[in-house]
Structure 1
Amino acid sequence: MDTDYRIGIEMEMLLTPFKEDYDESGGLFDNTPRLCNAVYNAGEDEDKVSTSAPYAEWSVTNDVTIRPYSDGQRPLESVSPVFNYSEQSSWHRDVAQVFATIERKYSIECNQSCGLHVHISPPANNPVWSIKTLKSICRCIFHFEGAIEALVPEHRRGNMWAMNNRCGNSMLRGKSIRACCALVDKCNSAAEIADLMNDDGRRFFSWNFTNLYKGRKATIEFRQAPGATEPKGCTPWVEFVASFVHASKMTSSHHGLIQYARTVQGLHQFITRTDLPGSRRGLLEMLFQGKRGYIVPRALRDLTIEEELLQQTKEREKNEKNLVMEKLEYLISAFNLVES
């Protein structure tokens, strides 16, 4: 089905073990590999070796941008399998199992350095975003940028890892939303969309299109959500991204968009007007509860030398480690083998 999107989740968190483990020499034992097995086999025996396909596993990795409060905390990024977003999907249960598995031995915390990233791709039987759909998504991002700012907490606004796609972008800064939409309409390829929306290939924006450069393994990534310490802090954002992208896909013209106010209320009306199979409306409503109006996006402040170096380090790290994309590549390859 055209609504069977594929999703991937990256969860950044800080862990404090309830009990320190020591090796035979008396030194502190780094039990990250043990945790990796536990998450890898979420809900199963943590010492069991998984035999699942590479795209069907959970992964645990480090991230240089996660800053612990203290020496006792361990930064962690947990990367989901590639899930199908459908009525039959187990992704809600799997997310809950991962949190439950981690909580057996760790307390989970998040600070302002932690974020939650959601990737979304087209269905496996049609794994390339059409240029028409990409343009619709971009127009909707610009139209509702202030409403999305109102949904996220203060520390995720003007954030160096999730900049606003318009005012944080040297190619679009100072331009009106109408002018930005006109530039989107002039794009002739997915690569041109990525160039425009991500300032000629920089991925640290609220909506990251740079994976479109990879063709069949294309995902659109939402990076502005805050870190989560429990399932209900994570799953509503996945529901939001899927619902927003689907509603955008169904809105093929600027005329069909301007009927919606650029406020939280207008955004809610926009993404709930269509029925997306597999969606859980109750989770989505959690994001909108108590939120109203809109917040004008702000440009990123000047970065310190240390922050610029950290961005460069992170960029190099991503070139070596893009787990969601690797899993998606495996999935597409497996699908093609089945089809042939």
Structure 2
Amino acid sequence: MASQCAFQFGIEIELLIGSRSKNHKSWMSLAAEVSTKLAKAGIPNHVNESNDKSLENYQEWSIVQEVTVPTQAGKNLWGLELVSPILATDTAWVTHLSVVFKTLKSSFTLSASANTSTHIHLSTSPTLSATQLSAIAKSILYFEPALDALLPASRASSYWCQSNRANPVLKSLSMAQCFEYLDYCSDPIDVVRTMCLYPASSAYGRANGYTEDFIHGVYKWDFSNLAYEGSTGTLEFRQCPGSRSADEVRTWVELAVAFAAGAIDGAEMIDPNGTVVMEDLWWIVSGGCQSSGIGERRGIEALFAGRGGSGKKGARK
């Protein structure tokens, strides 16, 4: 049950950012200014120049160069990623996030970019079992069309954000067969492989010398950080677009946490032969808001506004 899991999460916010007061000649110069301004606002942080992913880098906010967001040096704009510390589902994270964006907007410009995205990393205490991961995986597969409708179409067509259903394990199976396959997963690594296997015959696989299909993290929901026995890694939701406000980030956090929490309790009621309707996704997400304690669901309500279900209960058995 989701009520037996305490959810934690981390946020990766990709930005195309420029200083309002300085014309920086390098990314490090810009990052140093961001770090200084955040520190003065009471936000502990550091510049993680090497993008080191060791645990100590997640004790406070870190600033990382984001190479997938092209720099526009002539416009004083730089690709930068803000990585949060490990956060819990209490109200403190909302206030914390508001201070971060208030600080950024007072000293920097945050430009729109199709290259930016927002990633939400989820973990639980205790660690999710194979059965719980399978429940989340089933919900991901079943509700993919509804989640796609809530998010920008560009985020469903990116190389870095592919459908989990398109992987070599699942692509030829019906939804009912996908569910049956996941029912046989007795270990978390089995769920990881089911959801995130990538073909050795792909351009990436050939370029890197793979002779067998391999686990890869380019899917909408990335399970690859859970791929190692005894792993305390995260499940990553990669489909959210770039965010330029605290409210936008809050919406994506609420959606990711609530969906995962609701799926643990609600997946057993999904009929894989049913018709996906938005009302059933709302039912899963609103249940997850309550069981996870993620907050007031203000952002989620705005996201679903005008997209409610038809009144049919297509997903539930």
Matched, 1:208 2:207: no
2:60 corresponds in structure 1 to 57
Judging by fraction of residues, say which structure has more strand. Answer: 2
Shift of 1:270: 2.2
Shift of 1:105: 1.7
- Normalised by the length of structure 1, the TM-score is 0.74
Q: What secondary structure sits across from 2:29 in the alignment?
A: coil
Say whether the 8 Å CA contact 1:38–1:46 is kept in structure 2.
Answer: no
> 2-side partners of 1:221 and 1:46: how far apart?
24
> 1-side partners of 2:73 and 2:170: how far apart?
39
1:186 corresponds in structure 2 to 184
> 1-side partners of 2:130 and 2:7: how far apart?
17
2:248 pairs, out of 208, 233, 243, with 233
Q: What secondary structure sits across from 1:75 in the alignment?
A: strand
Say whether the 8 Å CA contact 1:136–1:249 is kept in structure 2.
Answer: yes
2:34 corresponds in structure 1 to 35
Shift of 1:22: 6.8
1:77 corresponds in structure 2 to 81
2:171 corresponds in structure 1 to 173
User: Which one-letter code corresponds to 1:175 in the other structure?
Assistant: L
User: Which one-letter code corresponds to 2:79 in the other structure?
Assistant: P
Say whether the 8 Å CA contact 2:136–2:267 is kept in structure 1.
Answer: no
Query: What are structure 2's unaligned runs of at least 5 residues?
Result: 48-55, 198-213, 311-317
- Normalised by the length of structure 2, the TM-score is 0.79
Say whether the 8 Å CA contact 1:38–1:47 is kept in structure 2.
Answer: no
Q: Percent identity?
A: 24
Aligned CA distance change for structure 1 residues 48 and 36 (closer, same or farther; 3 Å): closer
Aligned CA distance change for structure 1 residues 246 and 21 (closer, same or farther; 3 Å): same
> 2-side partners of 1:79 and 1:42: how far apart?
18
Matched, 1:264 2:268: no
1:195 corresponds in structure 2 to 193
Shift of 1:205: 0.6
1:286 pairs, out of 302, 305, 312, with 302
Aligned CA distance change for structure 1 residues 178 and 33 (closer, same or farther; 3 Å): same
Q: Once structures 1 and 2 are overlaid, which stretch shifts more, 90-99 or 209-218?
A: 209-218
Aligned CA distance change for structure 1 residues 118 and 178 (closer, same or farther; 3 Å): same
Aligned CA distance change for structure 1 residues 278 and 222 (closer, same or farther; 3 Å): closer
User: Which one-letter code corresponds to 1:156 in the other structure?
Assistant: R
1:67 corresponds in structure 2 to 70
* Cα displacement string for residues 228-251 of structure 1 (whole angstroms, at most 9, x for unaligned residues): 001111101100111111111113
Shift of 1:221: 0.5
Matched, 1:103 2:112: no
Matched, 1:113 2:112: no
Query: What are structure 1's unaligned runs of at least 5 residues?
Result: 295-340
2:134 corresponds in structure 1 to 135
Q: What secondary structure sits across from 2:18 in the alignment?
A: strand
> 2-side partners of 1:175 and 1:45: how far apart?
48
* Cα displacement string for residues 261-314 of structure 1 (whole angstroms, at most 9, x for unaligned residues): 5122221122214523242222211211233679xxxxxxxxxxxxxxxxxxxx
> 1-side partners of 2:73 and 2:307: how far apart?
33
